[in-house]
Structure 1
Amino acid sequence: MEIVEATISSVQSALQSGELTSRELVLRYFDRIASHDKDGLTINSVLELNPDALFIATALDSERAAKGPRGPLHGIPIMLKDNINTGDHMHTSAGSLALAGSFAGEDAFIVKKLREAGAVLLGKVNMTEFANFMTDGMPSGYSSRGGQVLNPYNISAPTGGSSAGSGVAVACNFCMASIGTETSGSILNPGNLSSTVGIKPTVGLVSRSGILPLSNSQDTAGPMARTVMDAVHVLNAITAYDESDAAMGTSIWHKQTDYSQFLDSKGLAGARIGIPRDYFFEELTEDQLAIFQDAVEVMRKQGAVIVDPADIRTAREIKYSSVVLNEFKSSINAYLSKLPPGSKIRTLKDIIAFNNEHPVETLKYGQSTLLSAETTTSGTQTETTYLRDRAADLRLCKDGGLDATMKEYELDALLFPADFGARITSRAGYPSIVVPAGYTEKGVPFGVSFAARAYEEPKLIKLAYSYEQASLVRRPPSLRSFI
């Protein structure tokens, strides 16, 4: 069986028929990683491979033979972003050398759910260090521990951050799917630039327990895959309720048991989709705008009602917010305090000190953001500016922004170019899905993203899947030549 661009469903068929085993699949991915990530073009997306991967795969093959598969993810190799805890032989470092020797005491909640679903945790992928909260001017996809991830479609193009490795490893067929995390565009942005599907869930749908944090109010994990269906299979596995994550309290009344029921190829028919032209289109090039317009025409032909423009009246009022800066210090200190005994890094101050002691290895681009978080915030979230900015974010982005716009135009979803909607959806805590839409003249991927209100993932899955099936534009990178 050819594994390049294989789907979870096609691999499951091969596993069931005996044409392929999970152990063989892991070995094939090892070979691709060796040939293209660590040799050849040296894409550099894979930070660490799980030394237990072959054992896990072999055990799952035996279980399949004895009992049958647990479900769609049985024996499926999945990569994890390096800020997600695994209670095994893999490190969790957020791409930093300060935490390069750090082992988590136990699995993150979503990792436990992936193991229960029968997934093979293949390894961890590189990321922008500390989720792009290390310093100003650091390229997306760079970390002091892992180096620079390259965009396999065009090495002069950015990878997007901070889940760069999560998107690139999937795009290059180094795994079946991956988990990324997002605070403000960190799933949508690399998904757009790697021609992959990224689902950024509502904050509260997916547990954050055991994930190195950035912002308590905006963080979430989500799946990245080559198809909407594959991303939904992973989403199904990780959406179980976690009582230790307070954000999940509202999800009890909204969470679906099986999101695959919304994979409707006719899902665009009759759907009202709004396009917020004002503010969100100003950075587009001519070829990016042409790709977006082609995507809109595909949706129109599928029966969508396009409301254009459907401008968000508060968009230009949205300014820099101190929310993430103020939440980072308390969030990361709480995480570090729970590391196993023996860890020398217990606070943000310890990370900064370690970097100062190893400047050649760690401070290629500096650590200005870490320093700002440590020295200008209290870590108690009592600053007047923080409290006012948090209220303003909710007023401008959620209540008076997305909610008001969707109500005014009676919309099912908003459609943004690339990941540009993350500027507002992230602060609202609302869901988005990015889907490949085409490639620029230089071969750089470009996608479109659907966004909706809290816990409206079912609507977004319908729309994204219907568009994907009608367009089918994704193609794998050649891994042989660049423009």
Structure 2
Amino acid sequence: MSRTVSDAVYVLDVIAGFDPQDYEATKEAAKFIPVGGYKQFLNPDGLSGKRLGVVRNLFSSSLNKSCVIQAFERYLNTMRQRGATIVDNLEMANLDVIQNPARSGELTAMLAEFKVTLNDYLKELISSPVRSLADIIAFNQNNPELGTFIASEKTSGFGEKERQAVELMENLSRNGFEKLMMENELDAMVTPGTGAIPLLAIGGNPGITVPAGYDSDGMPFGICFGGLKGTEPKLIDVAYAFEQASLVRRPPFSKSFEMNNKFLFASV
């Protein structure tokens, strides 16, 4: 999370790379890092020549606020005006399964991986009151928000069930999002809101969300651009160009106030 696309890209340039302590997660990803880093793709004309796909049933049922949909349509026109080709009304196989973590395998894999990786991390801390997920649960036993922790603690590593879950996610991604992108020769998929997140996550594909406005309740919403593995340069191209074309973001609202005794007492 960052203030602007350029801020996010500068951070990405610092943190991207191979980490021997995170071997499995970074060994393949590191080969996609472009020579010269990612800052070179902060291009205000980055929408020109790009093919962007729209899968409407990703968001049509979850986003029922007309102001968000209307804004999305305006932004599609903005992208067209900036040289992008919009490939609209695309369909994706097994979308109902992909968007349900309990059916896609995502929840099974996440719970097992969370425990294994968290325990590995905690064991390496030089000084810490907790050394495992079980320790965290014990420390927070009076906290009612422990459902995910407890479910994860009940797992016992990556067994056959978890391997099948990972295989299911890979197949769903390969025959869904990845197939859609390749068959339609897309540079990115574009959606309003957060509907694309599970779709991208199950295949380990990158995405970037740019502020796009505020709904009728004053809540912010974004436009998400998602792509295939290794296409971060294209996503940065597109996201930065969209950000510069729309200039929607505004600083968070804040109201000045006096630090009086009433405020201090209420804050304790």
The bucket for the TM-score relative to the shorter chain is 0.7 to 0.9
- Contact 2:212–2:249 under 8 Å retained in 1: yes
Deviation of 1:273 (Å): 0.2
How many residues are matched?
Answer: 247
Name the CA distance, whole Å, in 2 between partners of 1:288 and 1:307: 20
Alpha-carbon distance in structure 2 between the residues aligned to 1:448 and 1:261: 22
* Aligned with residue 27 of structure 2, among 249, 261, 267: 249
Alpha carbons 2:137, 2:150 under 8 Å: kept: yes
Counterpart of 1:449?
A: 224
In structure 2, the residue matched to 1:425 is 200
Alignment partner of 1:306 out of 68, 86, 106: 86
**What per-residue deviation string (whole Å, max 9, x for no partner) do you get for residues 234-260 of structure 1?**
221222332332222123432123212
Secondary structure of the 1:245 match is helix
1:311 Cα deviation (Å)?
2.1
Counterparts of residues 277-316 of structure 1 (less than 5 Å): 277-284=56-63, 285-316=65-96
Structure-2 residue corresponding to 1:334: 120
Q: Distance in 2 between matches of 1:344 and 1:332?
A: 14
1:459 to 234, 240, 252: 234
TM-score, normalised to structure 2, is 0.86
1: CA distance, partners of 2:32 / 2:115? 31
**2:62, 2:78 → 1: CA distance?**
23
SS in 1 for 2:253: coil
Instruction: Give the % identical residues.
Output: 38
The reply on whether 1:392 has 2:168 as its aligned counterpart is yes
Cα offsets for 1:109-129 (capped at 9, x unmatched):
xxxxxxxxxxxxxxxxxxxxx
Aligned-partner residue type, residue 282 of structure 1: S
1:325 aligned to 2:116? no
Show the counterpart of 1:373.
152
Give the AA of the match of 1:441.
S
CA shift at 1:410, angstroms? 1.0
- Which protein has the bigger helix share? 2
1:459 is displaced (CA, Å) by 0.2
Q: Which residue of 2 aligns with 1:240?
A: 17
In structure 2, distance between residues paired with 1:267 and 1:312: 26
Deviations 1:278-316 (A, max 9, x none): 243311021111121121111011111000012222312
Contact 2:58 2:195 in 1 (8 A): no
What secondary structure is seen at the aligned counterpart in 2 of 1:428? coil
Q: Which residue of 2 aligns with 1:226?
A: 3
TM-score, normalisation: structure 1:
0.49
Give 5+ residue unaligned stretches, structure 2.
257-268
For each residue in 1:138-191, what CA deviation from the matched residue of structure 2 results, as whole angstroms up to 9, or x when unmatched? xxxxxxxxxxxxxxxxxxxxxxxxxxxxxxxxxxxxxxxxxxxxxxxxxxxxxx
Structure 1: give runs of 5+ residues left out of the alignment. 1-223
> 1:19-58 CA distances to partner (integer Å, 9 max, x unpaired)?
xxxxxxxxxxxxxxxxxxxxxxxxxxxxxxxxxxxxxxxx
Give 1:227 deviation, angstroms.
2.0
Task: Report the equivalent of 2:266.
Answer: none
Distance 1:373 1:253 in 2: 31
Matches of 2:129 and 2:220 in 1, distance apart? 42
The yes-or-no answer on 1:480 pairing with 2:255 is yes
* Contact kept? 1:281, 1:417, Cα under 8 Å: no
Residue identity matched to 2:48: A
